[in-house]
Chain A
Amino acid sequence: MQSKTWIFSIVTSAILLAFYFLAESIGVEAPGFVAMAVVIVGASCYQHFVSHRNFTANVMQGDN
């Protein structure tokens, strides 16, 4: 996964959480913001894991 995408997803999740806390502070329930942040962080971690696993597999194949 590109580092720019990683940074963008982290910034987006942080902004979503900021909106959640803003909603809480004005007395509005907005669990959708947290749900989206969790989805984005989860997808980022999954993509990071997959690209790391593929990289490791390629290195191992190179060794053999």
Chain B
Amino acid sequence: MVLDAVVAFFILGIVCHLSGAKLGFPDGLYKSLSMFLMIAIGLKGGIALQQHVDSSLVFMSFAVVLFGLALPLLAYPLLRFFGGFNRVNSGAIAAHYGSVSVATYAVAVSLLDAQSIEYEAYFPLFVVLLEMPAILVGLVLAKGNLSVINFEFVKKELVANQSILLMLGSLLIGFYGGESVGKLNPFFIELFSGVLALFLLKMGLTAGEQLSSLKKNSLFLVCFAVLMPLLGGSLGIGLGLILGFSAGGVALMAVLGASASYIAVPAAMKQSLPEANAGLSITASLGITFPFNVVVAVPFFIALSQYAVT
């Protein structure tokens, strides 16, 4: 088994934290790197989308949104019945696992590019589409009624959502920018892997901190955080095959199903569900699921997709 160089930086981050090395990683740099990745993914998708637009994209988008609605409904009963969490915490954690992680997606794209595996150009659009449905379902499950979904909520979480705006905006710029987008390539496309490595180094440091905070409910949380990516990823492979994607596309669909959000959803939950224990969700999604996905699940889903499609 050969470890990808980009992924190795994530492990280096965890090792740095565990060894007590003080890496002064500025918060501003972390936010800048995360913005860079979102813009790069959007631009790359927009440029590729110029050649691949067709009407079936509407049907596929609808199926992807349904997928995003289904994932938290799968997670919620596990959290309630086996984990013994209350309604609020179950809804909040389920929302994290229904939404997506842009960093996990970026790792998958980097691995596919490294292995020269083709994938559909419109996947950044699916990443954007999958951000929101799980937050809505998670909130409804946590509150037990539909009243949480109102105009103010949609305005705040959908229209003013940084991830959605940056990725969708970059996708449109890449799509409509024509040849002028080419001058952005040296920065946003060619530096992608290097920036991702730096971002993963920081993520490794953060994941190391989260791993240290595993105490109460740790065994169930570890099991859940490992099981959900396998269930979500398997469903993603099924959906990818039904929609007729290429091997790379099926792998990306699996990765979107397997990943758990730790940027957009925590921010939304903090606003809309302040009574939920944010530590539980972050520990599970960032401390366990993200490392598990990056090191184990993503390479496996790429191999399985190639086997399933060919």
**A residues near B, CB below 8 A?**
1-2, 4-5, 7-9, 11-12, 15-16, 19, 22-23, 26-33, 36, 39-40, 43-44, 47
Contacts and interface: CB of A to CB of B under 8 A. Distances in A.
Contact of B223 (A2, A12, A27, A28): A12
A30 B299 CA distance: 9
Interface stretch (B19-27, B118-126, B153-161, B300-308): B300-308
Contacts of A4: 81-82, 84
Contacts of B300: 19, 23, 28, 30, 33
A4 B82 CA distance: 5
Interface string B209-225: 00000000011101110
Contact of B220 (A8, A28, A30): A8
Classify the secondary structure of B's interface with A. helix
Nearest to B227: A12
Contact of B296 (A1, A12, A36): A36
B222 A40 contact: yes
Interface of B: 1, 78, 81-84, 218-220, 222-224, 226-227, 230, 292, 295-296, 299-300, 303-304, 307
26 contacts: A1-B219, A2-B84, A5-B219, A7-B82, A8-B82, A8-B83, A8-B220, A9-B223, A11-B227, A12-B223, A15-B227, A15-B230, A16-B230, A22-B304, A23-B300, A23-B304, A27-B303, A29-B1, A30-B299, A33-B300, A36-B292, A36-B296, A40-B223, A40-B226, A43-B222, A47-B219
Contacts of B84: 2, 4
A14 B167 CA distance: 38
Given A27-B303, A28-B303, A32-B295, 18 more contacts: A7-B82, A8-B82, A9-B220, A12-B226, A12-B227, A23-B304, A30-B1, A30-B296, A31-B1, A32-B292, A32-B296, A33-B300, A36-B226, A36-B296, A40-B223, A43-B218, A44-B219, A47-B219
Contacts, number: 67
A4 B223 CA distance: 12
A15 B82 CA distance: 16
Contacts of A39: 222
Contacts of A12: 223-224, 226-227
B38 to A, nearest CB: 28
A48 to B, nearest CB: 10
B219 A40 contact: yes
Contacts of B304: 22-23, 26, 28
Nearest to A48: B219
A11 B81 CA distance: 14
Contacts of A26: 303-304, 307
Closest 9 CB pairs of A and B: A32-B296, A12-B223, A8-B82, A28-B303, A29-B1, A26-B307, A12-B227, A5-B220, A4-B82
A61 to B, nearest CB: 24
